[in-house]
Chains A and B, each alone.
Chain A
Amino acid sequence: MTEHIHVAPAPVGGRLLTPVTFTCGVLILAALAILAVRFVLGLGAVTHLNDGYPWGIWVVADVVIGSAFACGGFSIAMLVYIFNKGEYHPLVRPALLASLFGYTLAGVGVIFDLGRWWNFWHILSPAYASPNSVMFEVALCISLYIVVMWIEFSPTFMEKWGMRDARRKLNKVMFFFIALGTVLPMMHQSSLGSLLIVFGTQIHPLWQTMLLPLIFLLSAITIGYAVVLFESCLAAAGYRRSIEMHLLTPLAKIMLGVLAVFMIVRFGDLLWRGALGHAFAANLQAFMFWLETACFLSPFVLLRSEVQRRNPARLFIGGALLMLGGVLLRINAFLVGYDTGTGWSYFPSVPELLVTFGMFAIEVLGYIVITRRFPVLPREDAPPTATPAALRAATR
């Protein structure tokens, strides 16, 4: 159990139709039906989007948060290949898979939200290039990164279909795609924050800063590790596998380290700008700021000692709360802290919410299907250390 050699990935196997996948299917169908209405009648028919809040949860949740959740691949790849922590290698593929789904769906999600989606290709065409635009850069980077990730992940399919030659050739240049796969997310995850700089004073001072790119990048990296913790626990329980505690425990420590850097930058920036006073106002923004901060601080409490970091329950909750902090940071910066003028209000409509849930359902379903049929998760031949009874209890 504690051996540190690389365990080869293998398909998990098992049935595809389970209550979870069925629920996902229903949610996906509902989302598709709503999207059909959206494309026939327009955005206003299903969303509460308005000119005071032209960006709703489809942008913030599906794209900004979705892509941040998809940073697991980037964070782990950086750890393994850049910081040469080879022991984390078994985590690469599952994380990469989640990233691939997250980003691909974020890209597709953008299409739903685009008012003139048939012109989408303009963003990739030099004829329409707008190099001053942050979104231009984000769109280019994400598009490129999705391609890079498919290349990074392609060995999985090559293994499945026995394309050895292609795999060998790809391996020769894989280092370049891995490097690209760390640079591109750095660029666009930071730029997802830079998107807000041009909004100027429309963004509440608790979130508007020239350090937004750094804050968003650092939070995306920590979220990446949190997602891996969260996902590993979930996958282990879902597939009745043992949890790779020997990897997750030190990973949690790394996560806390990056999180500490993030918190120093976040609060240092607030203090330096003298904006921290706004956090003590009696308004929604201040409340949400503290909620966000509490989520970011909770892992330090939950996972403060090595013993606690060995407890998967704490890893799971810590990871989930950190993810929630990342969600709140993005929702706060893009929606709660956004004020284009007095009088405007926005709250997602039910169909709007259902589409977002449908998007996450696609991610879950895709992850289940691929891990059950393709070699993604580390192979597990040895029986888990825990007793079968305990495992059953854990997964019930």
Chain B
Amino acid sequence: MLSAPAALSTDGRPQRPIESRLEMSRRSFLQFCATLATTLGLPKGAEAAMAQAMEAAQRPSVIWLHFQECTGCTESMLRAEHPTLEKLILDVISLDYHETLFAAAGHQVEAARKAAMERHKGKYLLVVEGAIPTRDGGIYCKVGNQTAIELTRECAKDAAAVIAIGSCASWGGMPATDPNPTGAVGVGKILDKPVVTIPGCPPNPYNFLATVVHFLTFGSLPPVDAQGRPLFAYSRLVHENCERRAHYDAGRFALAFGDDGHRKGYCLYKLGCKGPETYANCPTVLFGDAGAGTWPVGCGHPCIGCTEEGVGFSKPIHMLAKVKNVEPPALYPAIHEPQGQGATLGSAAVLAAVAGAAAGAGAMFARNLGKQHAAADTAAKPAQREDA
């Protein structure tokens, strides 16, 4: 199933070996592929397929739109380290339109976008960063005199797939925070086609890359949940893989920032950590390629639930998370547990045997008493007669 990436190649000229294109050793490249395959939770052998797909020199055309956002998602992408992301977005994909990274400007760049869309009609990837304002006809965000709504719809029309990167593009994120003056919504709200969302503020770059490479490798987008989030990254609660989970289970909580428990690395639930209601792979993938503990909870800050609509940017830090993974499993005792030992075969048999023996002996005994009584009666009667 490598047809889609082949179709997406930008030109016919022979490619340099991918190692030289990415300025990395063959070993590093394979390691990178293995990392992404692991992030995706793919089986053994997938990393080879990925390497093959990326070597096949198909550089999918990518159009990257920016609306109501802080460019944090892009910044986060740029700081991925293995390999450096600029290499990837320039050499693995053909980034044909990106407002932050483009040197060109004005009509020139809009023309480039239109040309790319025309050239790769039905084959390019559309990535949207930022929320889309809908109030008052969407006039609160315009690029090249087009509103965000118009631009998104225009670009999405012939896109092979649409990826919403960041919480803003996913459901509105921070711009959509109450009272939401611009009517900001996520990409999915204004498009009819399915949108893969990579929420997070910022999202983890590897979740985005893995989604793209999945598309490259298998020609399809990864399976997603009801919010459009790839399951490989968003199917587990932060709480479930949290390094502080043992403290939660043992009832050791930090009560205030900087208190004893906080310094000892206790659970941050009482400080309002939203890990128990937030689906994301932050505790396993971490951020910034700087080693262990480099994610919010690892650094001592409660999770704010940025990947979770209705939690991130809407539920304040002092409100407690609703623990989502406690649908009572078997390990909670039920209200009424069967306890105690009922009749065993042995005890019932012993009791029955003794009761039976007692009843039998009693019956025998009574019978004999009856006989004796009868004998006495018959013995007494003649005597009485004689007396009479």
Direct contact of A and B (CB under 8 A): yes
Decide: A353 and B362 in contact? CB cutoff 8 A.
no
- Check if A8 is an interface residue, CB within 8 A of chain B: no
Q: A348-B347, A353-B354, A386-B376 are in contact. Are A394 and B368 (CB under 8 A)?
A: yes
Chain B residues whose CB sits within 8 angstroms of the CB of A282 once the complex forms: none
- Check if B340 is an interface residue, CB within 8 A of chain A: yes
Decide: A386 and B375 in contact? CB cutoff 8 A.
yes
Who on chain A is nearest to B359 by CB?
A: A320
CA distance A35 to B354 in the complex (A): 20
- Check if B379 is an interface residue, CB within 8 A of chain A: yes
Chain A residues whose CB sits within 8 angstroms of the CB of B362 once the complex forms: 316-317, 320
Who on chain B is nearest to A349 by CB?
A: B347
Q: Pick out which of these stretches binds chain A: B41-49, B64-72, B155-163, B331-339.
A: B331-339
Q: Pick out which of these stretches binds chain B: A262-270, A290-298, A336-344, A370-378.
A: A336-344
Contact with A along B244-257 (1 / 0, CB 8 A): 00000000000000
Decide: A311 and B338 in contact? CB cutoff 8 A.
no
Q: Pick out which of these stretches binds chain B: A45-53, A159-167, A220-228.
A: A45-53
Contact with B along A362-396 (1 / 0, CB 8 A): 00000000000000000000000111011101111
Q: Which of A326-365 contact B (CB under 8 A)?
A: 341-350, 352-354, 357
Q: Measuring CB to CB, which residues of chain B are less than 8 angstroms from any residue of chain A? A: 335-344, 346-348, 350-351, 354, 362, 365-373, 375-376, 379-380
On chain A, which size bracket covers the interface? 35 or more
Q: Measuring CB to CB, which residues of chain A are less than 8 angstroms from any residue of chain B? A: 48, 50-53, 233-234, 237, 243, 310-313, 316-317, 320, 341-350, 352-354, 357, 385-387, 389-391, 393-396
Q: Chain B nearest CB: distance from A234 CB in Å?
A: 8
Q: A316-B362, A348-B347, A349-B344 are in contact. Are A50 and B339 (CB under 8 A)?
A: yes
| Extra pairs beyond A347-B343, A390-B376, A396-B368 (16, CB < 8 Å) | A50-B341, A52-B339, A310-B373, A312-B372, A313-B373, A317-B366, A342-B336, A343-B336, A345-B340, A346-B340, A349-B341, A350-B350, A385-B379, A387-B375, A390-B372, A393-B375
Decide: B340 and A48 in contact? CB cutoff 8 A.
yes
Q: Chain B nearest CB: distance from A59 CB in Å?
A: 16
Which one, A234, A344, A395, contacts B340 given CB within 8 A? Answer: A344
CA distance A91 to B338 in the complex (A): 50
Decide: A316 and B379 in contact? CB cutoff 8 A.
no
Who on chain A is nearest to B351 by CB?
A: A353
CA distance A348 to B354 in the complex (A): 14
Q: A316-B362, A394-B372 are in contact. Are A345 and B338 (CB under 8 A)?
A: yes
Q: Return 8 A-B CB contacts under 8 Å, by A number.
A: A345-B339, A345-B340, A349-B344, A350-B347, A353-B350, A386-B375, A394-B368, A396-B368
Taking chain B's interface residues, is the majority helix, strand, or loop, or is none over half, making it mixed?
helix
Q: Chain A nearest CB: distance from B239 CB in Å?
A: 32
Decide: B336 and A313 in contact? CB cutoff 8 A.
no
Q: A343-B339, A345-B339, A346-B340 are in contact. Are A311 and B379 (CB under 8 A)?
A: no
Chain A residues whose CB sits within 8 angstroms of the CB of B370 once the complex forms: 311-313
Chain A residues whose CB sits within 8 angstroms of the CB of B337 once the complex forms: 343
Which one, B335, B340, B369, contacts A394 given CB within 8 A? Answer: B369
Decide: B341 and A347 in contact? CB cutoff 8 A.
yes
CA distance A385 to B348 in the complex (A): 44
Chain B residues whose CB sits within 8 angstroms of the CB of A389 once the complex forms: 375
CA distance A346 to B368 in the complex (A): 38
Q: Chain B nearest CB: distance from A216 CB in Å?
A: 23
Chain A residues whose CB sits within 8 angstroms of the CB of B379 once the complex forms: 385-387, 390
Chain B residues whose CB sits within 8 angstroms of the CB of A234 once the complex forms: 365
CA distance A352 to B354 in the complex (A): 14
Q: Chain A nearest CB: distance from B75 CB in Å?
A: 59
Q: Chain A nearest CB: distance from B387 CB in Å?
A: 14
Chain B residues whose CB sits within 8 angstroms of the CB of A387 once the complex forms: 375, 379
Q: Chain B nearest CB: distance from A219 CB in Å?
A: 20
CA distance A23 to B365 in the complex (A): 18
Chain B residues whose CB sits within 8 angstroms of the CB of A312 once the complex forms: 369-370, 372-373
Decide: B372 and A316 in contact? CB cutoff 8 A.
no
CA distance A119 to B337 in the complex (A): 33
CA distance A387 to B380 in the complex (A): 11
Q: Chain A nearest CB: distance from B334 CB in Å?
A: 8
CA distance A53 to B370 in the complex (A): 42
Decide: B340 and A313 in contact? CB cutoff 8 A.
no
Decide: B347 and A353 in contact? CB cutoff 8 A.
yes
Chain A residues whose CB sits within 8 angstroms of the CB of B338 once the complex forms: 343, 345
CA distance A346 to B354 in the complex (A): 19
Decide: A385 and B340 in contact? CB cutoff 8 A.
no
Decide: B373 and A350 in contact? CB cutoff 8 A.
no
Decide: A316 and B365 in contact? CB cutoff 8 A.
yes
CA distance A354 to B350 in the complex (A): 9
Q: Chain B nearest CB: distance from A312 CB in Å?
A: 4
Which 4 A/B pairs are nearest by Cβ-Cβ distance? A390-B375, A313-B370, A394-B372, A347-B343
Decide: A346 and B369 in contact? CB cutoff 8 A.
no
Q: Chain A nearest CB: distance from B249 CB in Å?
A: 27
Chain A residues whose CB sits within 8 angstroms of the CB of B343 once the complex forms: 347
Chain A residues whose CB sits within 8 angstroms of the CB of B341 once the complex forms: 48, 50, 345-347, 349
Chain A residues whose CB sits within 8 angstroms of the CB of B368 once the complex forms: 237, 393-396
Decide: B351 and A348 in contact? CB cutoff 8 A.
yes
CA distance A369 to B241 in the complex (A): 75
Chain B residues whose CB sits within 8 angstroms of the CB of A341 once the complex forms: 336
